[in-house]
Structure formats: C-alpha cells, structure tokens
Amino acid sequence: MEDGERLEQAVRADLRCLVTTTTGEERVRGTATIVLPTSEPHGHGESGRALSDGAHGPPDGASIVVVERGPVSNFANAADETNPEYFDVNAARARHHRDIPAPPTFGLDATLEYWGKWPELQPGRIAPDAMLQAAETLERLAGPGSVLHAGQLFEYRRPIYVGDVLIGTSKMGEPRTIDRRERRLTFLEFESRWSDYRTSEGLMSSCMTLVAPRAP
C-alpha cells in the first residue's frame, strides 16, 4: 500500500495547544496532527523480516526503548486522560487491545527516550538526543534565544503497547529561514521512525517542527 492510500484509510486529528502564565501571558503556541489507520496492517511492517542475531543489527544512531506501565499511566494522568484503557489492562482488553496502549502523543521522541532508554540496551553507544541536537543546531544558526515547538505529525500503523521494546532512528532536515518585518523565523524539522525491536514491524513515524524566532 502506498503512503497516499494508507492515509486515505486513516482517522486524522488536528490538535492545538496554548500555554499561558497565570496572568494570561502567552508562552507557547503549537499544533499537532495524529494519523491513525482504520485497519490493522498485515505482515511485518516496512522491513518484512524479524530482527535476529543473524540480522545486520541496529543501524548507527538507533535508540532502543522499553515501554513500561508506570510511565504510560503517568503520562496519561499528566495529559488529563480519563479513558480507563490507559490505566486498566482489563479495560484495554475489553476494547480489543492486547495490553494497555500508550496515548498517541506518548510517541514523542523525548518521552519515549526519557522513560525507557536504558544504557545497557543500546547498540554499542547511546544515540544522541535528537530534540536536543535540533535545538542546539537552531541556536547555532539563529543565535541564542528561545526555541519553540511549532508543529507535530504522528502516523501510527498500530498502537504502542506496554511491554513493547522499540527501536528508532531520527533524521534532521535542512533548516529554512523566513524573514518577516517583526521577526526572522528559522525552522528545522526532524523525522523519527519507530519499529518493534523483536519483529521489525514498523509501528510509528513522527515529524517535529521547531522554530527559533529572532529579531531581524
């Protein structure tokens, strides 16, 4: 199935976020898009083969993370979720999940790696923090100052579940600058792909956009 066909058979949600101080002063404004397929994919995902000792091994810069119940439920609590499937395995299975699913935005690189990136599981060395690298790159290009989260896209092939072991890689895009009368905006995107470490089934891809606003 081509990407365009897959997106046509999906449910799309566009989210908007605004963070303000207690006095009403705006601090952060952003958007996120989540795409969920309406049917289960077949086979083993993008690679079509299981990852084994005889395989070529993890790619350079890969991260291996473990999805645990405590972090998933804590994240759902922090997001003010009330859906019982994020907290109770019986409620999750009653809704045809094999275990407790993670909320869709749990798939953010910073969340996955913060909660479950154990050093002893990494392939030879710990991969760099993709979000930190992007922020440092923007500050180097645009100069010191704020770096804001300007946009987010998630595309899931199936939910991430408690008990999953995931392997992921991130790739930074080319920066672009837009000059406006009030601000010079430098944008940078990075794309991440996460798969099931045991089967190589492709699970989720995401694309984050960061922006560094500066005086012209």
Angstrom distance (rounded) from CA 166 to CA 199: 10
* 151-163: pLDDT as tens digits: 999 999 999 999 9
- Whole-prediction pTM value? 0.69
Q: Round to whole Å and give the CA distance between 193 and 190.
A: 10
Domain around 158: 3-66+123-214
pLDDT tens-digit map of 40-90: 333 333 333 333 333 445 666 789 999 999 999 999 999 999 999 999 999
Cβ neighbours of 57 (radius 10 Å):
12
Domain count, the chain: 1
CA distance 33 to 166: 22
Residue range 88-145, pLDDT digits in tens: 999 999 999 999 999 999 999 889 988 999 988 887 766 677 778 888 899 998 999 8
169 falls within a domain: yes
CATH number of the domain within which 8 lies = 3.10.129
Is residue 161 within 8 Å of residue 67, measured between CB atoms? yes
